[in-house]
Structure 1
Amino acid sequence: MRIGILTFHAADNFGAVLQTYATQSYLEKAGHDVRVIDYRPESARKHYNRFGLRSGTAWVTAKKRLKFGSFRKKALHLSKNTHNDIASLAGSNQDLDAVIIGSDQVWNISSYRGYDRPFFEGISPEHNHRRISYAASVGSTVSFDPHEQEIREQLLKFDHLSVRDVVSREMVEKACGRIPTEVLDPVFLDDFEGVERPVPKLPEKYMAVYCLKRAEVFGQAVNAAKAKLQLPAISLGVLSPGADEGLIGIGPREWLYCIRNASYLVTNSFHGVCFCIKWKLPFFVVRMPGTDQQRLDDVLSRVGLSHRVIEGPDHVESAMDSPIDFTESEAKLAALRDQSTGFLAEALA
């Protein structure tokens, strides 16, 4: 089957590009002809161009963008044409048998992207392709208003619906009456064999730090953790409070290597947690004040690791003294993986 993937592949975000790669890889191993539809809306371009323009960070941003661009070019099988709007998208990819929308926060209409119609319609509402959502998420969206009627109509046209978390499931059910299947993020479906790239001069043992939202409480937790482990704290991809060193200009390949080879991870990232669960890496999550971390809570709950979330530095020692039973989590993960691959098999039969 000829399948197009429509997702957030063009974001310079580790989780975004790696979940895209994982979906592509899994489908190709299942025997399908797969391409990533190179949809890059103007709203996304403007958003990412806001970052790294100051002289102090421009070179780091440029280095990082080059590595992300190289990964997309070499690892993702992009469509022949790049599309910046819905009109351009509708005029191409007419040979596809199915379009898979997701994973990631493709239904988060409260983000800077707003209501981005292709993530509900596919390449065109008139095109007769099979429309499937895989592990789609509403992110921080709490209501589909003022687009609820239009979104309802489009959700009803999906041949198969799946989401990544319980909040997304509840919102979709409320919007259209259909109950979508809850599935795993696609990073759990691929082994990423041959994708990693070693990082020179990385310490033999280190604690990795991956922080998406900066706060004083996060830095305090990092300081407490590295004091207990007596290991250097290496920040991955972004500047993290409490880290001894920052590998800021790394790309997806190096990020994977650093995560897999770490002794421990302190994070507040959904995909950071996913790779810890996947690779049985000891970790804890710092709950950030005033932020909604339901996506994290959901995936941890599903594999029995909710206790890995801490409220602040006072809880670091007890969290690190509590061993993680990855045997139990792996058993639950295996069942969830079977459910997820079963959904895709049925949707593409």
Structure 2
Amino acid sequence: MAEGLASMGVEAVLLEHMSDRVNRAEWRCALQPLLPAATVTEDYPLYKAKMRKFFQSFARLPLSPSFPLENPAAMDDYSLIVVGSDEVWNLRHPWYGGYPVFYGDGLRCRRIVSYAATFGSLASSARLEGWAEKLRKFSHISVRDLHSERIIRETLGLEPELVLDPCLQFPLTMKASRDDGEAASYIAVYGHSFPTWFQDTVRRWAGDRDYPLVSIGYRNDWADEQWIDAGPEDFASFISEAKAVVTNFFHGCVFSLVNEKPFACVFSDYRSNKIRDLTRLVRAEHHVLTEDTTLSNLDVILGNPLPPGISQRISSLRDTSNAYLSHALQ
């Protein structure tokens, strides 16, 4: 998001909020991402190496002076703060849920706007009692999914703008550099805790075509190879060079779309809202697999380029998102 704003001529920094409680929660998740399944002993060094690569990437970001997440009064003053994207309004988020700063409380600025914010897995607007009214101090509100759009409409009586996630909105910023040669022959696997039927269907399809399944970032024993210690730049390049992508993560779908890669996804309990609405938004609903998906269906999905209608829809949404940002930043 910060790089995208910079490409629009805006001087932007990421607000570097710090919290020991959040850090502990993130580190536990990074080392034990498959809970309730335990991390196998030999994977701990790989997850630690992955964390170090992320810390190195963080250090290169345009960061503000740090301040306590619980005490935004310690932050510098800004003329405008953009809240978002991602699950900034998800009160059920395992470590960020319930922090008033994401609803605008205590921010030291003249104006607050949101960009591509989402309530994530928060199921109902009824859970927002005492929180929704805080959003009225925002001068402009945009969300990235239909679920969040509905919650804003029901609680505030407003029509928020529906915009693209920054990774889709600013593709030249996110796209990894690569050779112009033909795509590699592996299938990228991104995510974890896939249902057994999904694993079996994907393995049969890939095996019939001699495509190795390579899992990045997490252990998936049903894949042929594991690349657990990949960093963020590794990930971007890996997806850009894959033959196709299978995922149950929102950004697995997003990076597939950025790189115009065939992809197949499946819902998980925590991410169902995000993936469902993203695929609806860009008219890629048929890329969501169900237990009824056959191998011939999967071959149509993964064995062919993305339909041109998806790229056309994304292009249209980029225009809408640019118009929103141009107006909100004034």
Same fold per TM (> 0.5)? yes
Q: Where does residue 334 of structure 1 map in the other structure? A: 315
Query: Pairwise CA RMSD of aligned residues?
Result: 2.3
User: Aligned equivalents of 1:33 and 1:101: distance in 2?
Assistant: 16
2:7 counterpart of 1:29: yes
Distance 1:193 1:145 in 2: 38
Is residue 84 from structure 1 mapped to residue 84 from structure 2 by the alignment?
Answer: no
Aligned AA (1:328): G
CA gap 1:168/1:212 in 2 versus in 1, 3 angstroms: farther
Instruction: Summarize the Cα distance change of 1:192–1:62 in structure 2 as closer, same or farther, 3 Å threshold.
Output: farther
Which secondary structure does the structure 2 equivalent of 1:100 belong to? Answer: strand
Which residue identity does 2:281 align to in structure 1?
R
Q: How does 1:193-208 map to 2 (within 5 A)?
A: 196=176, 204-208=184-188
Select the residue among 295, 312, 316 that pairs with 2:274. 295
- TM-score of the superposition, structure 1-length normalised? 0.83
Bigger mean CA deviation after superposition, 265-274 or 318-327: 318-327
The 3 A distance-change label for structure 1 pair 164 and 194 is closer
- Matches of 1:287 and 1:32, distance apart in 2: 36
Match of 2:46 in 1: 60
Which residue number in structure 2 is paired with residue 19 of structure 1?
Answer: none
Aligned residues, how many? Answer: 315
Displacement after TM superposition at 1:26 (Å): 1.2
CA distance in 2, matches of 1:213, 1:169: 29
CA drift at 1:106: 0.8
Distance 2:292 2:54 in 1: 33
Equivalent position of 2:86 in the other structure: 104
Distance 1:244 1:278 in 2: 25
Kindly tell me: are residues 212 and 182 of structure 1, through their superposed partners in 2, closer, same or farther at Cα, counting changes over 3 Å?
farther
Aligned-pair distance for 1:291?
5.8
> Partners of 1:329 and 1:194 in 2: how far apart?
19
Matched AA of 1:129? R
Identity, % of aligned positions: 26
| Inter-partner Cα distance in structure 1 for 2:260 and 2:177 | 20
- The correspondence of residues 229-308 of structure 1 with structure 2, limited to 5 A, is 229-288=209-268, 293-308=272-287
Structure 1 position 130, deviation (Å) = 1.1
Amino acid at match of 1:111: H
Return the alpha-carbon distance in structure 2 between the equivalents of residues 325 and 194 of structure 1.
19
* One-letter amino acid of the structure 1 residue matched with residue 314 of structure 2: L
Q: Deviations over 1:105-129 (max 9, x none)?
A: 111101213211111015x25x342
**Quick one: structure 1 residues 314 and 342, their matched pair in 2 at CA, closer, same or farther if it must change by over 3 Å?**
closer
SS in 2 for 1:56: helix
- Which residue in 2 is equivalent to 1:93? 76
Displacement of 1:46 in angstroms is 2.4
Do 2:120 and 2:271's aligned partners in 1 also have CA atoms closer than 8 Å? no
Partner SS state of residue 307, structure 1: helix
Q: CA deviation at 1:62?
A: 1.4
Task: Report the Cα distance in structure 1 between the residues aligned to 2:101 and 2:11, rounded to whole angstroms.
Answer: 21
In 1, are the aligned partners of 2:176 and 2:240 still within 8 Å (CA)? no
C-alpha distance in 2 between matches for 1:196 and 1:91: 36
Q: Which residue of 2 aligns with 1:132?
A: 113
Long gaps (5+) in structure 2: 33-38
Paired with 2:194 and 2:306, the residues of 1 have a C-alpha distance of 29
CA contact (8 A) 1:183 1:336 kept: yes
Q: TM-score, normalised by structure 2?
A: 0.88
**Cα distance in 1, alignment partners of residues 281 and 126 from structure 2:** 29
Residues 78-109 of structure 1: CA distance to partner in whole angstroms, max 9, x if unpaired?
A: 1122x33332x222221x11111110011110
Q: Shift of the alpha carbon at 1:237?
A: 0.7
The answer on whether the counterparts of 2:267 and 2:275 sit within 8 Å (CA) in structure 1 is: no
Q: In structure 1, what is the Cα distance between the partners aligned to 2:245 and 2:217?
A: 14
In the other structure, the counterpart of 2:56 is 70
Aligned equivalents of 1:242, 1:97: Cα separation in 2: 50
Provide the secondary structure at the position in 1 that maps to 2:294.
helix
Shift of 1:35: 0.5
User: Which segment is superposed worse, 156-165 or 300-309?
Assistant: 300-309
**Separation in structure 2 between the aligned mates of residue 192 and residue 84 of structure 1, nearest angstrom:** 33
**In the superposition, relative to structure 1, how do residues 109 and 42 fare at CA in structure 2: closer, same or farther (>3 Å)?**
farther
The residue correspondences of 1:178-189 to structure 2 (distance < 5 A) are 178-189=158-169
SS at match of 1:337: helix
Following the alignment from structure 1 to structure 2, what is the Cα–Cα distance between the partners of residues 313 and 239?
A: 26
Unaligned runs of 5+ in 1: 1-22
Alignment of 1:166-185 (within 5 A): 166-185=146-165
SS in 2 for 1:304: coil
